[in-house]
Amino acid sequence: MHYSTLEESVTCIKSGYRVFIQGGVMTPHKLINAMVARADELNNVEIVHIHIEGKVLYISPQYSKSFKTNDFFIDSNTRKDIHTGKTDYVPVFLSEVPILYSYYNYKNRVL
């Protein structure tokens, strides 16, 4: 079995990718921090999340060229950014999220 470091784990993220981050109490802050540490190497990575607990580092202005955020749920920690236009918002029921990914995969021909 092979174990990787946090830094190795986020090397698969490339510019232009879409990354879904699990939210709630399962928010992977250490992985998020490792991804944000690579911000200078990345451009236009779309971060999609439903409900992120705690500080949302990748929304900070210094990362605006590296990360674009698409939020499926308005949280207290992202509300201001949604209202000011720094973060996109897609109102969706939790049960409809798999349908969105099916559409994205069809549209972008991702298999």
Residues 97-110: tens digit of each pLDDT: 888 777 666 555 54
Residue 1 forms part of a structural domain: no
pLDDT band for 3, please (50, 70, 90 cuts): confident
Q: CA 111, CA 99: separation in Å to the nearest integer?
A: 15
Residue 47 lies in a domain: yes
Who wins on pLDDT, 14 or 54? Answer: 14
Angle at 57 between CA 107 and CA 10, to 5 degrees: 60
* pTM higher than 0.85: no
Instruction: Give 10-28 as a DSSP string.
Output: GGG--TT-EEEE--BTT--
Residue 76 falls within a domain, yes or no?
yes
Q: What is the CATH number of the domain that holds 39?
A: 3.40.1080.10
Q: Is residue 26 part of a domain?
A: yes
What are the tens digits of pLDDT across the range 38-93? 999 999 999 998 888 888 899 999 999 999 999 988 888 889 989 998 899 988 88
Q: How many domains does the chain have?
A: 1
